[in-house]
Amino acid sequence: MKRRERSWMYDRLDGRNLKPDFLKGVGEFIEFCKEHPTCNDGDKIRCPCPLCDNRRFHDTETVRVHLYKKGFVRNYYQWICQGESLVESSRVQPNQYRDMVIDALGNNQEHLVNEEGNSVEEEPNDEAKKFIDLLKAAGYPLYEGSKLSVLEMASRIASLKCEFNLQHRCVDGFASLMNDAIPNNNQMGRTFNSTKKVLEGLELPHERIHTCPKGCLLFWKGDAQLDKCRVCGSDRYKKTAKGKLIPAKVLIYFPITPRFQRLYSTKNISEDMTWHAKNH
């Protein structure tokens, strides 16, 4: 198990001195990077120290010094950004949540897995960072020994909330209870908002449109500035207990093009979507 094999990564110091296992492990990490040149920028490799966070390339000796001084970024047991996912993933059991991330975003981010960019100081854009973060979440166990990854737990919580129409406060309560029930050194958030942050990279583009509470019209285009429904006169907004105005009803609109792109980028769904052509 990677976490057990690489426990040296987070056991750096013995008093003021670096531990021999850490020094040896850093050397092995540097050699691993050299063996995967497609993930490097020439002679420079990605630095996984907390400051660089795999976003910057440096020569091997600079990376070595960074790791000696600062250690590795938290929970980076699988060296995804250095190419390990390409070599190791086929040897371990399938990870359907990692496959889900690649299906959803991988078509536009393949260079992050295969070639790791070209610019030395250029940081990944927002979409690329979300892709990397999701891959990490798919590979991190919820806690040491857990069969669930961080991404799987977040996905299942979100699914249960939708399936049973649970309120945010209800999910917050269960999340907090589960957090107390599992080992302390875990990666589970205590609120639904923390769960949403794990999943936000998978969101489809969408638009929130205020609607009449009775469904008469959308406060959109020519009616976007109205405060009351011009059909039934219902108020567009309602007051909370604290006196804050919020929309009485909201429609979430998902543009059709990104939806089809997502459907056809998912292997098993795309096969179902094209059955009529293949069996004609």
Provide mean pLDDT across the span 273-278. 69
Angle, to 10 degrees, between the axis of helix 168-181 and the axis of helix 150-163?
Answer: 140
* Average pLDDT score, the chain: 83
More confident residue, 88 or 258: 258
Cα–Cα distance for residue pair 86/102, rounded to 1 Å: 13
The pTM score is 0.54
More confident residue, 186 or 246: 246
Give pLDDT, residue 108.
53
Q: How confident is the model at residue 96 (pLDDT cuts 50, 70, 90)?
A: confident
pLDDT of 21 > 90? The answer is: yes
The closest alpha carbon to 101, from 83, 74, 141, 128, belongs to 128
**Each residue of 115-139: pLDDT tens digit?**
443 333 445 567 777 777 888 888 8
pLDDT of 61 > 90? The answer is: yes
What is the domain partition of the chain in residue ranges? 2-139, 150-202, 207-253
Instruction: For residue 61, give every residue at least 6 positions away whose Cβ sits within 8 Å of its Cβ, in sequence order, or none.
Output: none
3-state class (DSSP) for residue 49:
coil
pLDDT of 1 > 60? The answer is: no
Tokens of 63: 């990376």
Give pLDDT, residue 106.
57
Give pLDDT, residue 89.
42
Q: How confident is the model at residue 213 (pLDDT cuts 50, 70, 90)?
A: very high
More confident residue, 93 or 201: 201
Q: What is the CA radius of gyration of the chain?
A: 24
Give pLDDT, residue 101.
77
Give pLDDT, residue 267.
65
More confident residue, 138 or 208: 208
Give pLDDT, residue 107.
54
Query: In 6-149, which ranges are continuous DSSP H helix?
Result: 20-34, 60-70, 84-88, 96-114, 126-139
More confident residue, 255 or 184: 255
Cα–Cα distance for residue pair 29/40, rounded to 1 Å: 13
**Each residue of 66-77: pLDDT tens digit?**
999 999 998 888
Tokens of 81: 């950004």
